Structures are given as C-alpha cells and as structure tokens.
Amino acid sequence: MISEKMMKLTQNSSVIRAMFEEGIRLAAIYGRENVYDFSLGNPSFPAPDSVKDAVMEILDSRDPMFVHGYMSNAGYPEVREAIAASLNRRFGTSFGAGNILMTVGAAGSLNVILKTLLNPGDEVIAVSPFFVEYGNYVSNYDGVLKVVPADRTTFQLDTEAIGEAVTKKTKAVILNSPNNPTGVIYSEETLRKLAAVLEKKSEELGEPIYILSDEPYRELAYDGAVVPYIPNIYRNTFVCYSWSKSLSLPGERIGYLVIPSEADDAQLIFEAASIANRVNGCVNAPSLFQLVAAKCVDEKTDLFGYDTNRKLLYEGLEKCGFECTMPQGAFYLWMKTPVDDDTVFCETAKKYNILVVPGKSFACPGYVRIAYCVSKETIERSMPAFEKLAHEYGLK
C-alpha cells in the first residue's frame, strides 16, 4: 500500500497533466491542427545552437571521467565560479563559487532550500495565484503553506497582507517574478515595500524570514522590462534559478540556488543545502549540463517568438471581449472568466477544442491561464474558436 501522503497526491493529481492527456485524446479525434492546447508550460522554441555546440565541444575535448563523474554535491567549482561571475557582471553582486549550488532545475532548488530550512509545522507564505507545485514542495518537508492573495487588480504583491500573514512559525516567503500564471513582474517599489515589512517582522520575531525567489522566467521579460534582482533589495534572499525556460532545456533538469554571504547563517545554510541535495536523492545536478550551462551562461534568450505570440493572443482575446492582464514576462496570459466558475468555463472551452487551465489550480478561481508557448499558427487558428466561446457567453 502506498503512503497516505502519496495517496492524497495521487488522487489530486495535477489538473494541468490531465489537460495534457485530454489534448492528446482530442487530437486523435479532430486532428492535431484543430486542437488548441494552451495547457502546458513547455517551451515551444528549440534550445539555441550554442547549447549543441557546447555539448559537442565538452564531449570532444574533456576527460569523460570528469564529464560524467561524481563531483562535490554543490557542483563543479569552475561552473559555480562562471555563474557567480556572470551574476556579478549583470547585477553588481559579489558572489563566488561558494554562493552557488547547482541543482536539478528550479524545482530541485526549491526542494533543497525548503528541506534545509523547514522544521515540521513551519510556515511558508505563497502569493496566489501561484505555481501549483509549491504546496507539494512545502508539504514534502511537513511545512504549512499559507496563501496570501496578490492585489486582484494589478496582481502585484499585497505587502500589507503578507505582513499580516506572518506568525512566529513563518520561515519564508516564496516569490515568483516574472510570474506563472499572471505574467506580472514585481516592481522594485513593491519589492522594497515588502523588504521593509519583512525586516520589521524578522526583528520582532528575532528570527530571519527568508525570501525564496523562484526565477525560471527571469530572462523572459518583454518591452525592456527590468526584473529587479531581489538579493540587492533584501539581504535574506535565496534565488532558485533554472535554464528550463530561458534556454528551452526543461528535460535536462539544470538550475542553481544562490545563497548570498550576506544572508543570516549563510555558511551553515550552504553546507546544509549541499547535503540536502545529496540526501533528497539528487546527489548533484546533471554533470554534462552543468558544464554546458557554464559555457552558455551569457547566452541571450530569443524573445521574438514569445513576444509575437503574446501580442497576438492578447489583442485577439481583447477583441473577443475577454478581460486579460497584459503579460510583462514569462509565457502565460491570465484571463478573467466571464462566469464565476472557471472549471465550468474550461469545460465549455473544450467544446471548441480549446484547452486552458482553471485559476483554481493556482489557488485563484475566476480566471484561466493560457500558455502561449505554442506555435504562432496555433494562436492564429484558435481565434475563431475563441470568438465562438466569447459569443456563447454573450461578450462583445
């Protein structure tokens, strides 16, 4: 018999995955080109050529015992040094290899830091809508997720509400900007307000409250939008980064965790996090792709395709009469449903072969997430279907 925890998880298995399966089923009936599957956040553009070049060069030029061997649980020192140097160039930080821990994607990074910090019953604040896995990650370490809604008009942080949610059990606040699912980027002004709130609360509690900045979409920011680097705003910040989206490498499972020296207990946390990486069964991040990441560390993300999709989708849906938040980053569009029940709306959308994810899955009913990491043609072909859907709800 499986554990009670896994039984619950198995029964509540991800809505997004279920949608994906539904897409496959509909495609078999109506043909792939007639199904508009906006359910998954899988990058739709291939990794840049520099990734393949780096793989070939590493395999050709380096000792296979080095490339495929075990290394320190934190990762290859030369890779961590290269990442630290790149961050220092970009954000004026002064990191070294000792601040960077290579992880199995941002998911691995979040799990490592949560395992490192949490005692059973400790609380972690997440801002809704949020990436559905946060609840599972926190529960992995018997922590308690406390949900604080974002401002419902701008989807920026409600810093006062976050402050009010802090208790003596609060260990951390997870932030995700650019945000999945809203596409919002948290402004420097808002982050500074939050920093002031958390500093005051930490002082009152006599214990630090850490920010865990989950940043797989950092490079996906449009119209020149700046994504503030939170360690420069709040000392007790750990950054969970990955190349899953920026270099289209989600299957390679490569990312890192930043533990700035300025954070409270930084050295102890770094040592514990290296052990957490090992004992959670990852041991270390994938070796070949650590070396690839170091070679591609300054590679620019090609935003043109996503930006084109973003504008096409936003303009098309607004024309249909839907109410949308213009995404500033990531590759998701957040749309208000014309009925209160977003699950009913998603079922109705399926009649027109449109697959979108209900806001309920992100702890924010009344909305849907539309992932536009699809082909431009899918968006163009889906518009008549969205028009019919809008018509059914009497929009326009």
Pick the binder of ligand PLP from 36, 76, 95, 131 (CB under 6 A): 131
Q: Give all strands (DSSP E) within 19-116, no chain letters.
A: 36-37, 100-103
Q: With respect to ligand PLP, which residue has the nearer C-beta, 280 or 348?
A: 280
Q: With respect to ligand PLP, which residue has the nearer C-beta, 111 or 353?
A: 111
Taking the complex as a whole, the smallest distance from the CB of residue 8 to ligand PLP amounts, in Å, to: 21
Pick the binder of ligand PLP from 242, 274, 284, 328 (CB under 6 A): 242
Max intra-chain CA distance, the chain: 65
Taking the complex as a whole, the smallest distance from the CB of residue 240 to ligand PLP amounts, in Å, to: 7
Residues 6+ away with beta carbon under 8 Å from 393: 338, 339, 348
Amino acid in the structure at residue 67: V
Q: How far is CA 55 from CA 69, 251, 256, 290, in A?
A: 16, 15, 19, 10
Beta strand pairing call for 255-258 and 237-242: antiparallel
Site for ligand PLP in 2-61 (CB under 6 A): 41
Q: Report if residue 213 touches ligand PLP, rule: CB under 6 A.
A: no
Residue span binding ligand PLP (CB under 6 A) among the ranges 27-35, 93-101, 242-250, 291-299: 242-250
SS3 category, 1:
coil
Residue span binding ligand PLP (CB under 6 A) among the ranges 5-13, 46-54, 99-107, 150-158: 99-107
Residues 6+ away with beta carbon under 8 Å from 57: 295
Question: Nearest-5° angle of CA 293, CA 95, CA 100?
Answer: 45
- 256 bridge partner residues: 102, 241
Question: Is the bond preceding 181 in cis, omega lying within 30 degrees of 0?
Answer: yes
Q: Report if residue 216 touches ligand PLP, rule: CB under 6 A.
A: yes
Residues 6+ away with beta carbon under 8 Å from 48: 247, 248, 296, 299, 302
Q: How many CA atoms lie within 13 A of 224 on its CB side?
A: 0
Which residue number is nearest to ligand PLP in terms of Cβ?
105
Q: With respect to ligand PLP, which residue has the nearer C-beta, 133 or 302?
A: 133
Q: Report if residue 248 touches ligand PLP, rule: CB under 6 A.
A: no
The helix (run of H) or strand (run of E) holding residue 173 is: strand 170-176
Site string for ligand PLP, 50-89 (x = CB under 6 A): ----------------------------------------
Residue span binding ligand PLP (CB under 6 A) among the ranges 18-26, 57-65, 102-110, 356-364: 102-110
* First vs last C-alpha separation in the chain: 53
Q: Report if residue 259 touches ligand PLP, rule: CB under 6 A.
A: no
Residue span binding ligand PLP (CB under 6 A) among the ranges 9-17, 45-53, 91-99, 104-112: 104-112
Taking the complex as a whole, the smallest distance from the CB of residue 252 to ligand PLP amounts, in Å, to: 9
Residue span binding ligand PLP (CB under 6 A) among the ranges 100-108, 118-126, 299-307, 337-345: 100-108
Contact 246, 219 (CB under 8 A): yes
Contact 83, 295 (CB under 8 A): no
Q: With respect to ligand PLP, which residue has the nearer C-beta, 131 or 314?
A: 131
Site string for ligand PLP, 161-180 (x = CB under 6 A): ---------------x---x
Q: How far is CA 74 from CA 100, 239, 253, 288, 366, in A?
A: 8, 15, 15, 14, 42
Residue span binding ligand PLP (CB under 6 A) among the ranges 105-113, 153-161, 164-172, 362-370: 105-113
Pick the binder of ligand PLP from 39, 156, 159, 244 (CB under 6 A): 244
Pick the binder of ligand PLP from 82, 106, 263, 276 (CB under 6 A): 106
Q: Report if residue 387 touches ligand PLP, rule: CB under 6 A.
A: no
Amino acid in the structure at residue 355: L
Q: Report if residue 107 touches ligand PLP, rule: CB under 6 A.
A: yes
Site residues (CB under 6 A) for ligand PLP?
A: 41, 105-107, 131, 176, 180, 214, 216, 242, 244, 250, 255
